Amino acid sequence: MQLRKDEEAAKRNDDDELRMLAQKIASCQTIWTQVWHGAGSGPATNPLLALVQEEHQRNFSLWHEEDKARAPNASDTEIATVKRSIDKFNQQRNDLIEKLDEHLYRALQELKVSPPAGAPWNSETPGSVIDRLSILSLKVFHMREQTERLDATKEHIQKSRERLKVLLAQHGDLTAALQLLFDDLFAARKQMKIYRQYKMYNDPDANPAIYGAKK
């Protein structure tokens, strides 16, 4: 009898964690963004959150490399170096989106979640939504910075505050949408599909500028 109670309690805990999974992911991304602009952060221990953290780190690096590429005093050599870094981080980011989807797909299989034949699927995978949440958390952080500048005009501060409100609303809406997707997937109301990015420009066998140069 006690074993059954323990199993039921464990299931309730799992259900509670699942109902809050999207909010947990969004909160972690927000915290990591704040910490990485300071002293750094240790790795996440939860396997899913570890992948979320790694993917978010690539977006964090991409954001700041993109800033460098647009610096008006950057030399052609510096821009070329930054462009290669952007390509590398972007490829890693796309690989990690697929790894997030693969992790969730395996979790559904392990739980023996079996959607009925003909169950719909989402045009956007959970990994892609998590990526969009990651980028939004960066936008929120940097837009909030703009609202706190002491060297900016009142017009700029006001405009930044209005934009921050929009970004926060988008972040909340997307977090809720991700949770709905999780709910549908784990309740077998939707089926999970993994979509591949196939970034041909980074593939030496698919980019003519690369394989053509070898010839």
DSSP string for residues in the chain: -HHHHHHHHHHHHHHHHHHTHHHHHHHHHHHHHHHHTTT--PPP-SHHHHHHHHHHHHHHHHHHHHHHHT-TT--HHHHHHHHHHHHHHHHHHHHHHHHHHHHHHHHHHHTT--PPTT--B-SS-HHHHHHHHHHHHHHHHHHHHHHT-SSS-HHHHHHHHHHHHHHHHHHHHHHHHHHHHHHHHHTTSSB--------GGG-TTT-HHHHHHH-
Percent of the chain at pLDDT above 90? 64
Q: State the total domains in the chain.
A: 1
With 90 as the cut, is the pLDDT of residue 96 above it?
A: yes
Whether residue 215 lies inside any domain: the answer is no
Q: Report, as an integer, the average pLDDT of 7-33.
A: 79
pLDDT at residue 14, as a whole number: 64
- Residue 70 pLDDT class (50, 70, 90 cuts): confident
- Of residues 103 and 213, which shows the higher confidence score? 103
Q: Report, as an integer, the average pLDDT of 97-110.
A: 96
Whether residue 208 lies inside any domain: the answer is no
pLDDT at residue 68, as a whole number: 86
Q: Report, as an integer, the average pLDDT of 49-56.
A: 96
pLDDT tens figures, 169-202:
999 999 999 999 999 999 999 999 888 877 766 6
Whether residue 165 lies inside any domain: the answer is yes
Q: Residue 186's domain spans which residues?
A: 2-203
Whether residue 62 lies inside any domain: the answer is yes
When the pLDDT of each residue in the chain is averaged and rounded to a whole number, the result is 88
Predicted model pTM: 0.85
pLDDT tens figures, 111-153:
999 999 899 999 999 999 999 999 999 999 999 999 999 999 9
Whether residue 33 lies inside any domain: the answer is yes
- Range with the lowest mean pLDDT among 25-29, 65-69, 98-102, 144-148? 65-69
Q: Nearest CA to 26 among 4, 53, 66?
A: 53
Whether residue 23 lies inside any domain: the answer is yes
Whether residue 53 lies inside any domain: the answer is yes
Whether residue 212 lies inside any domain: the answer is no
- Residue 5 pLDDT class (50, 70, 90 cuts): very low
